[in-house]
Amino acid sequence: MLYRSIPNTDMKVSALSFGNFIYGSGMWGKTAADEPEGVALQNKAFDLGVNFFDTADAYDNGRAEELMRPTIAYAGRENVILSTKFGYDFYSDPGTAGSHRERKQDFSPSFLQYALEQSLKRLNTDYIDLWQAHNIKLPQMSDELVTKLEQLTREGKLRAWGIALGPAIGWREEGAAAIEQWRCATVQTVFNMLEQHPGLEFCRRSEATGCTGIISRVPHSSGILQDIYTENMTFTDHRKFRDRNWLVYGLKKVEKLRDIQRAHGCTMAQLAIKWLLTFPTLISVQPNIATEAELTEFAAAASQSDFLSPAEMKQIETLVESDFGYGAEAHACDLKSSMTSNGVTRSEYQMNHAIPRLPGSAHESPQRAAAGR
189: Cα separation from own chain's centroid:
4
pTM of the model: 0.91
CB 365 within 8 A of CB 186: no
CATH architecture of 3-370: Alpha-Beta Barrel (3.20)
> Smallest Cα–Cα separation from 199: which of 124, 146, 304, 277?
277
Residue 328 is predicted with a pLDDT of 83
Residue 98 is predicted with a pLDDT of 59
Residue 163 φ/ψ, nearest 5 degrees: -130, 150
Reduced 3-state DSSP string for the chain: CCEEECCCCCCEEECECEECHHHHCCCCCCCHHHHHHHHHHHHHHHHCCCCEEECCCCHHHHHHHHHHHHHHHHHCHHHCEEEEEECECCCCCCCCCCCCCCCCECCCHHHHHHHHHHHHHHHCCCCEEEEEEECCCHHHCCHHHHHHHHHHHHCCCEEEEEEECCCCCCCHHHHHHHHHHHCCCEEEEECCCCCCCCHHHHHHHHHHHCCCEEEEECCCHHHHHHCCCCCCCCCCCHHHHCCHHHHHHHHHHHHCCHHHHHHHCCCHHHHHHHHHHCCCCEEEEECCCCCHHHHHHHHHHCCCCCCCCHHHHHHHHHHHHCHHHCCHHHCCCCCCCCECCCCCECCCCCCCCCCCCCCCCCCCCHHHHHCCC
Taking the C-alpha atoms of residue 174 and residue 341, their distance in angstroms, rounded to an integer, is: 10
CB 73 within 8 A of CB 33: no
Which residue ranges in the chain fall short of pLDDT 70? 27-28, 97-100, 167-170, 333-354, 356, 359-373
> Smallest Cα–Cα separation from 364: which of 80, 106, 8, 59?
8
- How many C-beta atoms surround the C-beta of residue 20 within 10 A? 25
- How many C-beta atoms surround the C-beta of residue 277 within 10 A? 25
| Bond before 70 cis per omega within 30 degrees | no
Residue 337 is predicted with a pLDDT of 46
Are β-strands 213-217 and 186-190 bridged in parallel, bridged antiparallel, or unpaired?
parallel
Residue 64 is predicted with a pLDDT of 94
CB 59 within 8 A of CB 24: yes
